[in-house]
Amino acid sequence: MFVPHVYLPSGSSEVVGRWIVIDPKQNVLLVDGDFPVGVQPPLAVVGRHLLGLEEGEPVWAAAADGDASVGDAEGQWVNLRALYGAIPETDWVLAGRAAQVLVWDRDHQFCGRCGASTKSHPVDRARTCQACSLMAFPRISPAVIMLVERETDSGPEVLLAWGRKFPGRFFSALAGFVEPGESLEECVVREVFEETAIVVNNVAYHGSQPWPFPHSLMVGFNASYVSGEISVQEEEIVEAGWFSPGELPTVPRGGMSIAGWLLEDWLRRVA
C-alpha cells in the first residue's frame, strides 16, 4: 500500500526505492516495463522529491536533465498518456502524482509575490519565499465534467460535444473549470449553459479522478435536461448534439478518463 510522505523517516536516507523519472515532455522512464529501482536515480536528474512509501520502500519523483537520453540508462521513455494500460493503474496514478509535483516545483522556484527565490519547506510539500515567507503549495485546479441526459419519445439520449482542442471529430462530455466562489454543482449548471445554452438540474456526483495534464482534479457528475435548444459557444465547441446509445459518434469508452467512465455507466443503465 502506498502512503504519502514528504521526507524519509530519520536514518533511512540510503535505501532502495522506485524512481519515477520524467523528462520535460512528460515522458516516463521504464526499465523492463517498470519504474527503475535503486538507491540513486538511474540517470542525471535536476530535482527529486519523495512521493511516499510503498510497502515501506520510498517512491521518488525525479526530473530528468534536459540533456538526458534513453542511452543514459537501460530502458525506454514512454509518454505519460501512452503509459496508461502499459503498467498497473496504481503505478499510472503514481506517475501522474510525480508529474504534478515536478511541474509545481519547476514553476515555483521564485516567489509569485516578490520575485525572490524559494526553498523547500522543512516539513510540508511546499516552497517558501526566502524574502517574504510566502508559501506555495502544489496547485490543484478543480474541473467538472458532466454527462447530461434526457428521455425522448424514441428513447434515452446524452449531450456530447466536439471541443476545439480535440483533433479529429471526437466527442465527449462537457467540462469546465470551477470559478472562485462557485460550488461544483453551480459550475455544472453554468458550464452546460455557457457551452450549449442547455438548462439542467438534478446534478448528481458520480466520481472524481486526478488528471495530471498538468494539475487538474476532474469531478464527474450526471445531470438532467430541463430546457433549451443547442447553441454552441464557438470559442470552445465545434459541434454538439444529442445521441442515443446506438448512434454514438467517436467517444471515449472506459479507458483512462472519467469521460469514458461516465459514458460506460450510462450505457449500462439504459441497456
3-19, pLDDT tens digit by residue? Answer: 999 998 776 667 999 99
Write out the three cell numbers for 211: 488528471
Q: What is the pLDDT of residues 234-264, one digit of tens each?
A: 999 999 999 999 999 999 998 899 999 999 9
Give the integer Cα–Cα distance in Å for 169 and 127: 42
Give the integer Cα–Cα distance in Å for 204 and 214: 26
pLDDT at 14: 78
Do β-strands 17-22 and 57-64 pair in parallel, antiparallel, or remain unpaired? parallel
Strands (E), the chain: 2-4, 17-22, 27-30, 37-38, 45-54, 57-64, 76-79, 118-120, 127-129, 135-136, 141-152, 155-163, 174-177, 199-211, 216-227, 237-243
Q: Coil, strand or helix: which one is 105?
A: helix
The CA distances from residue 149 to 30, 179, 226, 253, in Å, are: 41, 24, 10, 17
What is the band of 72 on the pLDDT scale with cuts at 50, 70, 90? low
Give the integer Cα–Cα distance in Å for 60 and 46: 13
Topology of domain 141-270 in CATH is Nucleoside Triphosphate Pyrophosphohydrolase (3.90.79)
The H or E element that residue 91 is part of is: helix 89-107
CB 109 within 8 A of CB 117: yes
Q: CA Rg, the chain, in Å?
A: 22
Q: Which CATH number fits domain 2-107: 3.55.50, 3.30.200, 3.90.79, 1.20.140?
A: 3.90.79
Q: Could you state, in order of their start, the residue ranges of all structural domains in the chain?
A: 2-107, 141-270
Please indicate whether the domains covering 2-107 and 141-270 agree at the CATH topology level: yes
Return mean pLDDT, the chain: 94
Task: Provide the residue type at 229 as one letter.
Answer: E
pLDDT at 168: 87
Write out the three cell numbers for 230: 443547442
pLDDT above 90: residue 69: no
Which residues, in sequence order, are bridge partners of residue 30? 76
pLDDT at 167: 82
pLDDT above 80: residue 70: no
